[in-house]
Structure 1
Amino acid sequence: MLIVDDHPVLAQSTRSLFLSMQLADEIDVCHTAAHTIATLQGDADWFRIWLDIDVPGARGLSLIRKVHELGLARRAAVITAVENPDWQVEIKSMNFLGYVPKATGFEAFKHAVQHIVQGREYFEGLQQHRPPSRLTKRQVEILKLVARGHASKEVARQLKLTPGTVDNHVSAIVDALCAKGRTHAVALAIEYGYIPPEA
């Protein structure tokens, strides 16, 4: 098993609990997104992966999206202090096994973990919120250029579109992310992992 948590005491406490529950003989711990990705890209065949959302090197759901891209969602669950109903819905839609808030009581936490170890989904208390809209590849391309400070005319020139088409895309992006404008849409896109922070 692999536990991903940037807080060493919490990571070791979780590891000790899992060992006492006899869930696995070997449990490794990663503290950063980069270390996690490198570990997951290695040769090990992970039975279960327990991910915290807010670790160094991750923004929003960026680490979650990477684990999904690696094809490991059905082996992974989220254990986090971040209680974001929209993120829960999105994580469930990516076929992860569960979303367990760290504030869950001890017995409920153990129940959730056992449920997930058995390969069953656990999204207790999941509200039926509107999932965040998916952005198209073209919208992400446009957002990356907007994030670099390009105006609609410059974006249109680089992507061989009309400025009106770019403005329509930007408007759709703002609506999809429930943003207040272009700048807010860029910030949300970075937070949700659609574009890298360096954009």
Structure 2
Amino acid sequence: MTRVVVVDDQTLVRQGIRSLLEIAEVDVVGEADDGRAALDVIASATPDVVLLDLRMPRYDGIWTLQRLRELGVETPVLVLTTFNDDVLVLEALRAGARGYLLKDVTLEQLTRAVRTLAGGGTLIAPSITDRLLRAIRSGPSPSGAPPGQELTERELEVLRLVAEGYSNREIAGALFLAEGTVKNHVSTILLKLDARDRTNAVLRALHEGILP
């Protein structure tokens, strides 16, 4: 059976998810009501997948994702939330979430997502993906070339790390570059992709197939 930890600040929600998953033969091996408690539960229960709400008091879902990444925890995280905000979706994905579903999903959709992540895959609700991609302005880059065509290998490396949520300082450390050099690369990437900010650059790169 797939082993799951449920992280949600509402006791009734956690109990409901546990009951539903157990019907589908998914084993809930732990629960937590915020991110701080989740770290301990995940460490002791070693689940296959973490179901994580985003909006929680004290230590929320984004904090939890960031902390798990800092600790090197590779357990896949499926965000399960009521919040359908584009910025929040992107923030969660950049912080390391491997899946994103809204709480109005069916039990079949939820269990399929859990098993997909446990098997090494990713899953984002199609409605969310479609909306994010429609938000991208598809105009050509200033040079007239297709977006991303002019990116150098180094710029692609920087862009991949930007997509993973790395700061300029973290990118500099990962690639053994000066932070000022990274800033210059990011500025060039924004220009070449005709993007207004880092998030828009990542969306455009995903839309154009520059990033997987």
TM range (shorter): 0.5 to 0.7
Aligned residues of 1:132 and 1:177 also touching (Cα < 8 A): no
The question of 1:88 aligning with 2:100 is answered no
Inter-partner Cα distance in structure 2 for 1:44 and 1:77: 17
The question of 1:36 aligning with 2:38 is answered yes
The question of 1:5 aligning with 2:37 is answered no
Aligned residues of 2:51 and 2:78 also touching (Cα < 8 A): yes
- Aligned counterpart for 2:29 among listed residues 12, 27, 45: 27
1:44-101 C-alpha deviation (Å, 9 max, x unpaired): 4222111111122125722221122222354221111121223323433454321111
Q: State the partner residue of 1:15.
A: 18
Inter-partner Cα distance in structure 2 for 1:2 and 1:121: 17
In the alignment, residue 7 of structure 1 is paired with which amino acid? Q
What is the 5 A alignment of 1:37-116?
37-40=39-42, 42-59=43-60, 61-116=62-117
Provide the aligned length of Structure 1 versus Structure 2: 140
Cα drift, residue 177 of structure 1: 8.6
TM-score (norm 1): 0.57
Cα drift, residue 6 of structure 1: 0.7
Q: Which runs of 5+ in 2 are unaligned?
A: 137-162, 171-195, 200-212
What is the 5 A alignment of 1:173-184?
none
In the alignment, residue 29 of structure 2 is paired with which amino acid? I
Higher relative contact order (CA 8 A, sep 6+): 1
* Identity, % of aligned positions: 18
Inter-CA distance 133–66: structure 2 relative to 1 (3 Å threshold): closer
Inter-CA distance 94–177: structure 2 relative to 1 (3 Å threshold): closer
Aligned residues of 1:112 and 1:122 also touching (Cα < 8 A): yes
Q: State the partner residue of 1:117.
A: 118
Cα drift, residue 35 of structure 1: 1.1
In the alignment, residue 24 of structure 2 is paired with which amino acid? M
Aligned residues of 1:3 and 1:49 also touching (Cα < 8 A): yes
TM-score (norm 2): 0.54
Q: State the partner residue of 1:183.
A: none
What SS does the corresponding residue of 1:18 show, helix, strand or coil? helix
Inter-partner Cα distance in structure 2 for 1:134 and 1:176: 14
Q: Which moved more, 1:109-118 or 1:12-21?
A: 109-118
